[in-house]
Amino acid sequence: MSKSPLDAFFVGRATAEAVIDRIEETVTDALSALGKFDAEQREQVRIFVETVLEKAEQQRENVAPDDGEIDADELQETIDNLRAEIAQLKSELQQYRA
């Protein structure tokens, strides 16, 4: 019981400094982990996007392997053929219903 108020002050001050040091370490570690997690996620997204684009390019090459571009006339012909098939199916459906 011989502790003076001055001793209590220094003990309180040392305690506060120790707590502040621990908080700084904890916050620094948390921010570091968050930065690492963010960087890893960005890398995963970049790899995913590259994979998707590679697959899309491969599929596009399989569809039009010659020059890599679809001719507008061929596209219009395909659209016209599809429209004709739809019209034919509608006609057959109407005949079936009647």
Evaluate whether 64 touches 70 at the Cβ level (below 8 Å).
Answer: yes
Question: Looking at residue 27, what is its pLDDT?
Answer: 96
Question: Looking at residue 65, what is its pLDDT?
Answer: 58
**pLDDT, tens digit, 9 for 90 and up, residues 10-65:** 999 999 999 999 999 999 999 999 999 999 999 999 999 999 999 999 888 887 65
pTM of the model: 0.48
Question: Looking at residue 1, what is its pLDDT?
Answer: 45
Distance (Å, whole) CA 49 – CA 37: 18
Kindly write down the DSSP assignment for every residue of the chain, as one continuous string. ----HHHHHHHHHHHHHHHHHHHHHHHHHHHHHHHHHHHHHHHHHHHHHHHHHHHHHHHHHHHSTTTSS--HHHHHHHHHHHHHHHHHHHHHHHHHH-
Which residue is associated with the tokens 């507008």? 72
